[in-house]
């Protein structure tokens, strides 16, 4: 695991405090789930090279160049709540590598963090063919581990936990389509990145992407916003959604569902009736054999945007072979050592064969 901290001020104090809070998770003076009052955790994941780090830096008002994320990186944000009062703290984890490192979700998603956990999914709007696969793989991985961590917390806590077992989100009774959706177990924000490039796509394709993401967001009771670090107005809106998750700041009442404009849709501000049916201009729905509404939207979407050839872009499980982490000098030395190892194996094999013949 790689840890990257954009600010080191009191970092070890924060780490020590978090460990302490986990140890005394059942005490009344601890926050929900064992984290201190005023602390939240945000897990950021999404499309490879989708702009996650750039978005995070802008949300934290940090004027520094974005660097490629190395596996899983950690930083934190703080917000003053008043004079001489403790600052709210947001623990921020960012997963790199797109879907190839989805196993690392187990690090930020723990039994101690899930009660204050939120997830941000960043999807590259300029690469629609890879969009659904990235979204589905990452959401499934995160949801599975949230449920696993919740189950572990429930078994370990029992009657000793002051906060009780973790419970999935409970939506308001007036939440649109409440009986028809499957809410993500923790607050979820979907950010469509690179909106400036997205605008270059044909109008009919933009409408398909917009309707599909609206459906997915509403189905999971998630918020949805389109963003671009090159458009300050969208950066400002994105920061407000981020601050809502990180520091419980009011997100405002702006709503935009027009596909000709950037989508800005807080959770609960959309509905299936407003979204309409899947865009089936050249697709016969009856021939798709979908298992459920979400599967139907997936099949329609992938008919219009065929998935990328996975055989050509096979996921790299070994980070040393991932082109994202190229280091010429280190790689040259590694290649030399690999060659020496192969020669050693050959010589050892010959020696072993010689011993067998002598015996």
Looking at the structure, tell me whether residues 258 and 165 fall in a common domain: yes
Q: Check pLDDT > 70 for residue 26.
A: no
Name the residue with tokens 């009986």.
Answer: 179
**Span 53-73, mean pLDDT?**
90
Residue 188 pLDDT level (bands cut at 50, 70, 90) = very high
Give the CA radius of gyration of the chain.
24
CA-to-CA distance for 52 and 60, rounded, in angstroms? 12
Statement to judge: residues 251 and 122 lie in one domain: yes
Best mean pLDDT range from 86-90, 233-237, 324-328: 233-237
Residue 36 lies in a domain: yes
Same domain for 197 and 272?
yes
Mean pLDDT throughout 24-53? 67
118: helix, strand or coil: strand
Confidence of residue 1 (pLDDT cuts 50, 70, 90): very low
Give the residue, 348 or 211, on which the prediction is more confident.
211
Give the pLDDT of residue 124.
97
Same domain, 269 and 332: no
Q: For residue 311, is it within any domain?
A: no
Domain contains 310: no
- Distance of alpha carbon 169 from alpha carbon 147, whole angstroms: 12
pLDDT confidence of residue 134: 96
Same domain, 299 and 334: no
Q: Is residue 162's pLDDT more than 60?
A: no
Specify whether 216 is located in the same domain as 349: no
Distances (CA, A) of 197 to 124, 127, 194, 266, 330: 10, 9, 6, 23, 35
Higher pLDDT, residue 255 or 341: 255
Given a cut of 80, whether residue 140 has pLDDT beyond it is: yes
Task: Looking at the structure, tell me whether residues 211 and 337 fall in a common domain.
Answer: no
Average pLDDT, integer, range 37-54: 91
- Evaluate whether residue 2 is within a structural domain: no
Q: Which domain holds residue 39?
A: 11-304
- 204 and 270 in a single domain? The answer is yes
pLDDT tens, 267-300? 999 999 999 998 876 666 666 777 889 999 999 9
The answer as to whether 309 is a domain residue is: no
Sequential DSSP letters for 256-291: B--TTS--EE-TTS--HHHH-S---TT--GGGS--S
The predicted model gives 41-68 an average pLDDT of 93
Antiparallel, parallel or unpaired: β 88-95 and 72-79: antiparallel
Does any domain span residue 152?
yes
Residue 250 shares a structural domain with residue 340: no
243 has pLDDT over 60 = yes
Does residue 48 lie in a domain region? Answer: yes
Report how many domains make up the chain: 2
Q: Is the pLDDT of residue 28 over 50?
A: no
**Residue 149, domain CATH:** 3.40.50.300
For residues 319 and 176, the model is more confident at 176
Identify which of 269, 288, 267 has the alpha carbon closest to the alpha carbon of residue 277: 288
pTM flag (> 0.85)? no
Contact yes or no for 34/22 (Cβ under 8 A): yes
Residues 255 and 332 in one domain: no
In terms of domains, do 189 and 292 share one? yes
> Per-residue pLDDT for 161 more than 70?
no
219 pLDDT more than 90: yes
- Regarding predicted confidence, which is higher, 6 or 227? 227
Query: Mean pLDDT across the chain, nearest whole number?
Result: 82
The answer, yes or no, to whether residue 66 has pLDDT greater than 50, is yes
**Residues 251, 347: one domain?**
no
Does residue 128 form part of some domain?
yes
């Amino acid at each position: 695991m790689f840890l990257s901290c954009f600010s080191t001020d009191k970092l070890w104090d924060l780490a020590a405090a978090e460990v302490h809070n986990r140890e005394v998770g059942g005490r009344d003076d601890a926050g929900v789930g064992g984290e201190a009052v005023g602390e939240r955790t945000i897990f950021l994941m999404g499309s490879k090279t989708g702009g996650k780090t750039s978005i995070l830096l802008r949300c934290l008002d940090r004027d520094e160049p974005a660097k490629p994320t190395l596996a899983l990186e950690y930083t934190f944000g703080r917000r003053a709540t008043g004079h001489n009062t403790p600052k709210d703290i947001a623990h921020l984890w960012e997963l790199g590598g797109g879907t190839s490192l989805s196993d690392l979700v187990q690090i930020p998603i723990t039994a101690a963090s899930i009660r204050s956990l939120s997830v941000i999914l960043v999807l590259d709007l300029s690469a629609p063919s890879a969009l659904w696969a990235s979204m589905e793989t990452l959401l499934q991985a995160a949801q599975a581990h949230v449920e696993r961590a919740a189950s572990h917390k429930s078994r370990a806590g029992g009657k000793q936990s002051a906060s009780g077992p973790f419970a999935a989100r409970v939506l308001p009774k007036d939440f649109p389509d409440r009986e028809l959706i499957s809410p993500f177990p923790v607050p979820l924000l979907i950010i469509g990145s690179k909106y400036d490039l997205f605008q270059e796509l044909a109008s009919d394709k933009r409408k398909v992407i917009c309707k599909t993401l609206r459906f997915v967001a509403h189905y999971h009771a998630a918020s949805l916003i389109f963003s671009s670090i090159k458009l300050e107005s969208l950066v400002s809106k994105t920061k407000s959604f981020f601050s809502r998750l990180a520091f419980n700041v009011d997100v405002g009442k702006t709503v935009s569902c027009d596909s000709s404009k950037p989508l800005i849709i807080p959770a609960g501000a959309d509905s299936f009736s407003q979204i309409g049916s899947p865009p089936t201009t050249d697709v016969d729905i009856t021939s798709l054999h979908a298992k459920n509404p979400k599967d139907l939207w997936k099949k329609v979407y992938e008919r219009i945007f065929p998935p990328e050839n996975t055989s050509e872009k096979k996921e790299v499980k070994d980070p040393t072979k991932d082109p994202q982490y190229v280091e010429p000098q280190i790689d040259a030395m590694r290649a030399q050592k690999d060659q020496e190892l192969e020669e050693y194996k050959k010589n050892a094999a010959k020696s072993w064969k010689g011993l067998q013949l002598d015996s």
